[in-house]
Amino acid sequence: MKKLLPAALAAAAVVSGVSAAGASGGAPVTWGSCPADVAKPGLQCSTLDVPLDYRHPDGRKITVALSRLPSTNPAHRRGVLLVNQGGPGLTGLDFPMSLVDAGLPRRVRDTYDVIGFDPRGVGHSTPVTCDMTPKQTAESVSPPFPYRAADVTKAAGAAKTVARQCLTSATASTLPFITTANTARDMDGIRAALGEPKLSYYGDSYGTYLGAVYTTLYPDRSDRIVLDSSLGPEGYDAEALRSQGLGFETRFPDFAKLAAADPAHYGLGTTPAAVRAKYFELAERLDREPAQGYDGTTFRTITAALLRADAALPLLAKLWHELDVNEPVSLPTGAGPDSDNFAASYLAVVCGDSRWPEAVDTYRRNVAIDRVRYPMYGPYAANIRPCAFWPAPAEPRVRITGAGPENVLMLQNLRDPATPMPGALRMRAAFGDRARLVTADQGGHVAYLNGANQCGNDAVSDYLATGSRPAHDVFCRAAAGTTDTLYDPIRSAIFSAKAH
C-alpha cells in the first residue's frame, strides 16, 4: 500500500497554477504541486475544506485533497470528469494518471479536466486511524479462513477488539461521518468549488456505489455518469462481501483452464478439475504449515486478487507452482502497510453505511452455508468483521431510484469475482430507465481499459466523449487476446482484494 503522509497536505497548497472560482461564492481552488508520493508531470493538486457533518455546515471542517489532469484540448473541453477507483479506503490523487497510463483515449482527455481525490478520511485528506497493529490491520478486513464454528468465535473476539479501538481512537469523533453519502456531498462541494454547473463521473468497484449515491442525491448536477463493475444498490454491506464467494467460483474456471492448458510448465494438473483440487490442497497445507510468508488465508486472498485481471493469471499459476514445490516465490507478501489508514477508512465506510448482523451465531450459520455453496472462498467472505460491533449508522442509507435524467452507463464483466453480476443487475433494476447496462463476456474485475473487449471499452469512451449512449442494454461478445491491466496486478490488486 502507498505511504500515507498527512504532512504532505501542506505541499498540495503550493501555488503554481490556475484558480477556479467557487460556484457558491466561496474560496477558489488554487492548483499547485502535488505531494511527492503522487507527483507526476502534468498533474496538479489542491485541497478543499468541507463540513465534517453536513447537518451542521458551519461546524468543524475537514480537508479533502484533490488532483487535476487538465484537458488536452481546452477549446473542446466540456467540463470535469471526477474519478474514483473504489475500495473504500483507496487513495485517488494518482488515479487520473493511472487511467492515462491504462490508455484513456485522447478524445476523453480532450473533453474533460480529469479530477481525482482522496476521499474523506483517506490518505492526504484528513485521515482516520484505529490505532491497529499490523496484524490487526490485516485481519480487520481479512480474518483467517474459518473451518469450523470455533474459528468464527475466535474471529469475533478479534473483530470486537478492533471495533473498540476504532471507537476510542484519536479520530473516533470523525469516524461516524466517513460515509458514502458524505463523500458524495464532498463531490458536490468539489463541483461547486470548481465553478461547474454539473460534473461527469467514472467510478469502478465500490466507486460505482459512490457514483450511484451522488447521482441519486444530485440528479440535476450529474452530467455523464459511468459505473464500472457495480455493487448492488444496497452498497457494500455484509451480503455484498458475502457475494464474493459466488464471484470467486464464477471466475475461477478461467484460471483453471489456463493452468491446465500448460501442465508441463505449471504442474498444477492436466484438467480444470485437477487445478481446482490443487487449490484446496495448497490452501489446507498452508493453513497447517505456512511457508515463505504465505498461510492459507494469504494464499486465498492473493489468489482472489490476481483472479481480477487476465494479465495476472500466468503470474498466479507461477506462484501456485512455486508454493507447491517449495521454490522461492516470485511474489513475496511483503511486510504489509505501514499505516492502518486504509483499513480504518474502509471500516468507517462499510460499517457506517449500513447495519451488519450483530449476532455471532448469524456468521457461524453463514459460514457453514457458504462452505457448502462456495467452498473455495465463501467461508472467508462470510466470516465476521468489526462491523458486527459498530454503532448504528448516523443516517439512513440512500435509496437508489430511477428518479432523474437518463444519464447512467453501467459496464460489467460477466465473470467478475469481486462485484458479481447479480449485484449489477439489481443496480440496473434500481435505476430503471436512467441506466443502460453493457455486459462484456470476459472475466476479471474492472472492465474499462482493463481487458480485451473493445466493445465495452468503446461504449464508455463514446459516452464520455460524445454523450452517445446505447439505446438499450448491450451484450458484448468475448474477444480474443488480452491487454495490459488498469492496475498493476502486483502492486494494487493484492491489498484491494481484501476490501471491495
**Measured distance CA(333)–CA(138) in Å, rounded:** 12
Confidence of residue 304 (pLDDT cuts 50, 70, 90): very high
pLDDT of residue 25: 42
What lies within 8 Å, CB to CB, of 481 at 6+ separation is 452
pLDDT band at 73 (very low <50, low <70, confident <90, very high): very high
Assess if residue 337 is contained within a domain: no
Average pLDDT value for residue range 178-196: 98
Please report the pLDDT score of residue 27 as a whole number.
64
Q: What is the mean pLDDT of residues 408-414?
A: 98
Quick check: is 271 in a domain? no
User: Exposed, middle or buried, 75 (CB in 10 Å: 0-12/13-18/19+)?
Assistant: exposed
- Find the CATH number of the domain harbouring 438: 3.40.50.1820
Provide the pLDDT for residue 480: 54
| Whether 108 contacts 461, CB under 8 Å | yes
| Chain segment 2-18, per-residue pLDDT in tens | 322 222 222 222 222 33
Task: Provide the grid cell at 29.
Answer: 481552488
Amino acid at position 40, single letter: K
**Number of separate domains in the chain:** 1
Query: What gap in Å lies between CA 130 and CA 13, rounded to an integer?
Result: 27
Is residue 454 one of the residues assigned to a domain?
Answer: yes
Q: What is the mean pLDDT of the chain?
A: 90
Residue-wise pLDDT for 117-150, tens only, equals 999 999 999 999 999 999 999 888 889 999 999 9
Residue 158 in domain = no
Give pLDDT tens digits for 366-377.
Answer: 999 999 999 999
Which has the minimum average pLDDT: 10-14, 122-126, 337-341, 388-392?
A: 10-14
Model pLDDT, residue 315: 97
User: Which residue from 480, 481, 441, 443 is spatially nearest to 308, judged by alpha carbons?
Assistant: 443
Residue range(s) defining the domain that contains residue 36: 6-127+176-237+398-496
Mean pLDDT of 324-329: 95
Q: How far apart are CA 175 and CA 347, in angstroms?
A: 9
Kindly state the average pLDDT of the residues 242-267.
Answer: 98
Which range (16-25, 53-62, 266-275, 438-447) has the least confidence? Answer: 16-25
Q: Is the pLDDT of residue 106 over 70?
A: yes
* Mean pLDDT on 56-73: 97
* Segment 79-105, tens digit of pLDDT: 999 999 999 999 999 999 999 999 999
pTM for this structure? 0.91
140, 355 Cβ separation under 8 angstroms? no
Asked whether the predicted pLDDT for residue 19 surpasses 50, the reply is no
Q: What is the maximal distance between C-alpha atoms in the chain?
A: 67
Residues in the chain, total: 500
436 contacts: CB under 8 Å, gap ≥ 6: 408, 409, 410, 469, 470, 471, 472, 473, 474
pLDDT value at residue 482: 38
Q: Does residue 300 belong to any structural domain of this protein?
A: no
- Pair 102, 125: CB distance under 8 Å: no
Report whether pLDDT(316) > 60: yes
246-261 average pLDDT score: 98
Q: State the pLDDT at residue 336.
A: 64
pLDDT of residue 418: 97
Separation of alpha carbons 324 and 425, rounded Å: 38
- pLDDT tens digits for range 425-480: 999 999 999 999 999 999 999 999 988 899 999 999 999 999 999 999 999 999 75
- Of the chain, the percentage scoring pLDDT greater than 70 comes to 89
**Is 326 within a domain?**
no
Task: Tell me whether residue 159 is in a domain.
Answer: no
Q: Is 166 within a domain?
A: no
